[in-house]
Amino acid sequence: MPAHLNTAWIGLGANLPSEAGHPADTLRAALQQLGTLPGITLQAASGLYDSAPVDSSGPWYCNQVVRAGTSLDAPALLAALQGIEQAFGRQRPYRNAPRTLDLDVLLFNDEVRTDTQLTLPHPRLHERLFVLMPLAEIDAALPVPGLGTVAALLERLQATAHGQDCRRMAG
């Protein structure tokens, strides 16, 4: 690993069972696989959260956020995450379909980008309790480029009639 690592914040989610088992088991297995990838060092992980589907249907999701140091650039990290999704049987029949595993690059350093491959910060990060709650657990003071801190975004979303149900799982 080089002396300078990029800092990536990655969202994990699942609401269908995979070969690893229940969605919570899938997230644990995916996190373990992520930690073995060359050029990636896991630095912090939130607890697991249960959340009702947002803009989709199907069973409740299990969600988590991790912070990783990586020598990869953002597109290479995204490709590595998509490889893990494939290994867990991810299919994309339609937008927001239920899934065995979803891995999203939420933030990458303080990079802001929009292209056909990747949008940073993640375009709906500030609208999702299942992202903001685990992010706040790791670093509530984290600035989200152009939007404010995670704590301020979470407070703003919780003060609205957002219609989302998200709670930290016990353990």
Catalytic residue (choose from 73, 99, 113, 168): 99
Structure tokens at 13: 């989610």
Does residue 102 have an active-site annotation? yes
Pick the CATH number of 6-118 from 3.30.70.560, 3.10.330.20, 3.40.50.2000, 3.90.850.10: 3.30.70.560
The rounded distance, in Å, linking the Cα atoms of 52 and 48 is: 14
Token pair of 28 as six digits: 């644990």
Q: How far apart are the C-alpha atoms of 79 and 77, rounded to whole Å? A: 5
Distance CA 166, CA 143 (A): 22
111-118 long-range Cβ contacts below 8 angstroms, 24+ apart: 111/74, 111/145, 112/145, 112/146, 113/74, 117/75, 117/78, 118/74, 118/75, 118/78
Domain positions in the chain: 6-118
User: Of the residues 25, 28, 73, 90, which is catalytic?
Assistant: 90
Residue pLDDT, tens place only, 1-18: 445 799 999 999 999 999
Helix (H) or strand (E) holding 153: helix 150-158
Query: In tens digits, what is the pLDDT along the chain, a chain of 171 residues?
Result: 445 799 999 999 999 999 999 999 999 999 999 999 999 999 999 999 999 988 877 899 999 999 999 999 999 999 999 999 999 888 776 676 678 999 999 999 999 999 999 999 999 999 999 999 999 999 999 999 999 999 999 999 999 877 789 999 986
User: Is 99 known to be catalytic?
Assistant: yes
Active-site residue 67, yes or no? no
Does 55 participate in catalysis according to the annotation? no
- Catalytic position from the list 67, 102, 115, 128: 102
